[in-house]
Amino acid sequence: MTEASESAHRADKFIAIDGPAGSGKSSVSKAIARRLGYGYLDTGAAYRALAWQVLERGADTADADAVRSAASDFPLIQRLDPDDRHVLVGDANVTDAIRDPRVSAAVSGVARVPEVRVQVNEMFRRMVAEADYPAVVVEGRDITTVVAPDAPVRILLTAAPEVRAARRAGELGGSDPVAVAAALHKRDASDSSVVDFLNAAPGVDVVDSTELDFSQTIDAVLAVIERRRDADKERHHGR
């Protein structure tokens, strides 16, 4: 297989879904993967795992050199089964630890180091290419634009800021919606300085779930997948 055809093959296995915090992209992506029998990759978990490793070494993710050092020896194992989301760094099971508030507060520092993003993105492409699934639903911040810009299905899942904040507050067990909204705004502002995940790039379908419930959002995303994949098949048959 030539390099060009290998790249096309890898892109063809992506269902790329981007979106801001609280947009529901994780829960929707997992549901889509289960429904279609696909793998599921939460790219944010990998960045969180790297942030955890930096902190575990007693360093600060604001220190780019410390981030680079941790990335140079990053034995990540991430399952692609939507019902088995175990994340390991070496022998350490960090599945729960990477959701700790101290990791959440530190992860943006990891994502700001350009060469680390290049390394991690290539790891994502390799994971999808080697996955024992017909396709993988990959969700994150720059999947549609950087990781898999040639994927046949690229979706930006979004919702109004106040809706995203209310949903996230509910997920967190009734946390103060005002505080949650402030945290979401801060995270969006920080992360959007690295990559634009609030606006759809050309060719990316937008699914706005502001007025949709969970089931309706899943149906809307499935409709995009079906339409895009049908169009991709027609394009290939016409060659």
Binding-site members for ATP are 19-27
- Does residue 120 contact residue 46 with C-beta atoms inside 8 Å? yes
> What letter does residue 206 receive in the DSSP assignment?
E
Interatomic CA distance for residues 48 and 85, integer angstroms: 13
Report residue 206: phi and psi, to 5°: -100, 130
Interatomic CA distance for residues 216 and 149, integer angstroms: 26
Place of tokens 């942030």: 51
- Does residue 174 contact residue 70 with C-beta atoms inside 8 Å? no
Query: Which structure tokens are listed for 217?
Result: 């959002």
Query: Which structure tokens are listed for 172?
Result: 């967190």
- Does residue 113 contact residue 106 with C-beta atoms inside 8 Å? no
- Does residue 32 contact residue 221 with C-beta atoms inside 8 Å? yes
Interatomic CA distance for residues 129 and 137, integer angstroms: 12
CA distances from residue 45 to 6, 9, 28, 128, 217 in whole angstroms, order as listed: 26, 25, 16, 15, 23
Of 165, 183, 182, nearest to 174 (Cα)?
165
Which residues sit in the known binding site?
Answer: 19-27
